[in-house]
Amino acid sequence: MGDLGAEGPEWRERAACLRHPAVLFFGMDDAEAPGDRREREERAKLVCRECIVRLECLSHALEAREPYGIWGGLNEVERKARLRAMAKAART
Ligand code: SF4
């Protein structure tokens, strides 16, 4: 989740990522090398794994269609896959 500012739901105040730089969750820019990105994302996901508000965070990110960054332990590609799987399950 990174640095989202002081406003927002209560769960954000208990986010483990508040103790880490936002760049760990969002990267620096589009020029990030794929290997560097993978490594950074894995480090961010380790933070998420220990986060007590992971479910709230992921739920928010899916609902808000957050387009960038690691939220709830998933990157944007993984969140899109999760949304597709949820939509598919809802149709069956
Ligand atoms: S799950 Fe990850 S991104 Fe979400 S609040 Fe926790 S540490 Fe931050």
Residue 6 pLDDT > 60 = no
Q: Which domain holds residue 59?
A: 10-91
In a domain? residue 5: no
In a domain? residue 3: no
Beta bridge partners of 74: 71
Give the model's confidence band at 30: pLDDT under 50 very low, under 70 low, under 90 confident, else very high.
confident
The two tokens of residue 1 are 């989740």
Specify the number of domains making up the chain.
1
Q: Are 40 and 28 in contact (CB under 8 A)?
A: no
Tell me how crowded residue 57 is: count the other CB atoms within 10 A of its CB.
Answer: 26
74 phi and psi angles, rounded to 5 deg: -125, 145
In a domain? residue 29: yes
Residue with tokens 């760049």: 23
Per-residue pLDDT tens over the stretch 33-76: 999 999 999 999 999 999 999 999 999 999 999 999 999 999 99
71 phi and psi angles, rounded to 5 deg: -135, 130
Task: Read off the pTM.
Answer: 0.89
Q: Is 74 in the pocket of ligand 1 (CB under 6 A)?
A: no
At 1 the pLDDT is 57
Q: Is 72 in the pocket of ligand 1 (CB under 6 A)?
A: yes
3-state secondary structure of 78: helix
CA–centroid distance, residue 92 to ligand 1 (Å): 31
Give the model's confidence band at 28: pLDDT under 50 very low, under 70 low, under 90 confident, else very high.
confident
In a domain? residue 56: yes
3-state secondary structure of 86: helix
Residue 7 pLDDT > 80 = no
| Nearest of 26, 51, 48 to residue 37 by alpha carbon | 26
